[in-house]
Amino acid sequence: MKSITDREILELIHEGIDLASIMAKDPRVTRKRLKEFFGKLGGLIGVEPGMDTNMDTKKSGKPTLRVSGHIQLDTDGASRGNPGKSGIGVVVLDGEKNILAEVSEYIGDATNNVAEYKALIRGVEKVLEFSPSRVDVFADSELMVRQLNGRYKVRAPSILPLYNEARKLLGMLSESKVQYVPREQNSLADALANRAIDMVGD
């Protein structure tokens, strides 16, 4: 059996750590601090801190340590009935538009606005695993984007907790921007959200 390398051990350690959970437990733990920690750890065992560790789904299906870079996050929520059966779709891409991760999940009965927020929250949780330097978020819900950018107030009691959670998660990112795009420019996330509903059936 081939012996495991130091780099592979470091990647396994990182895969087993929920970075978002750690940051939520202690405000002193920031993305920058975690980056420094893994960089030092890598140096101690002879792994170059700046190593390229994008997600390799063929090997493990899980993201590995990513210490820098620009990420694009596309999110969409779908509801059939509003409220009705709902799903979320998330696509994480690197700066060269390579897909790093996809999420397609059924969330039960919900309104379209709830589904949109849950998709965003799930997407940011996924992005935090990569420790990016900047994140550009794209969604086709004009209402949600304007609420998150402070142009609209959140009045619906069902949305306010989701809004607060989304703002908290976005605040964990070093730099982020939430932008609106037409649905036709968000087709992959839309397809993933609808696929989740299709998997449940009637």
Q: Regarding the domain with residue range 70-200, which homologous superfamily does it belong to in the CATH classification?
A: Ribonuclease H-like superfamily/Ribonuclease H (3.30.420.10)
What is the distance between the alpha carbons of residues 149 and 81, in angstroms, rounded to a whole number?
A: 28
Burial class from Cβ neighbours inside 10 Å (0-12, 13-18, 19+) for residue 2 reads: exposed
Contact 38, 30 (CB under 8 A): no
Q: How far apart are CA 71 and CA 100, in angstroms?
A: 9
Q: Where are the domains of the chain?
A: 6-44, 70-200
- Predicted pLDDT of residue 60: 42
Reply yes or no on whether the pLDDT at 45 is more than 70. no
- Please tell me the distance from the alpha carbon of residue 63 to that of residue 137, in angstroms, as a whole number: 19
Tell me the percentage of the chain whose pLDDT exceeds 90: 57
pLDDT of 62 > 70? The answer is no
Which pLDDT does position 162 carry in this prediction? 98
Q: What is the mean pLDDT of residues 72-77?
A: 98
The pLDDT of residue 131: 83
Question: What are residue 91's DSSP bridge partners?
Answer: 74, 102
Which two structure tokens, joined as six digits, stand for 186? 């968000």
Residue 52 has pLDDT above 70, yes or no: no
- What pLDDT shows up at residue 202? 63
Residue 154 has pLDDT above 50, yes or no: yes
Where does the pLDDT of residue 198 fall: very low under 50, low under 70, confident under 90, or very high at 90 and above?
very high
Task: Specify the pLDDT at position 182.
Answer: 96
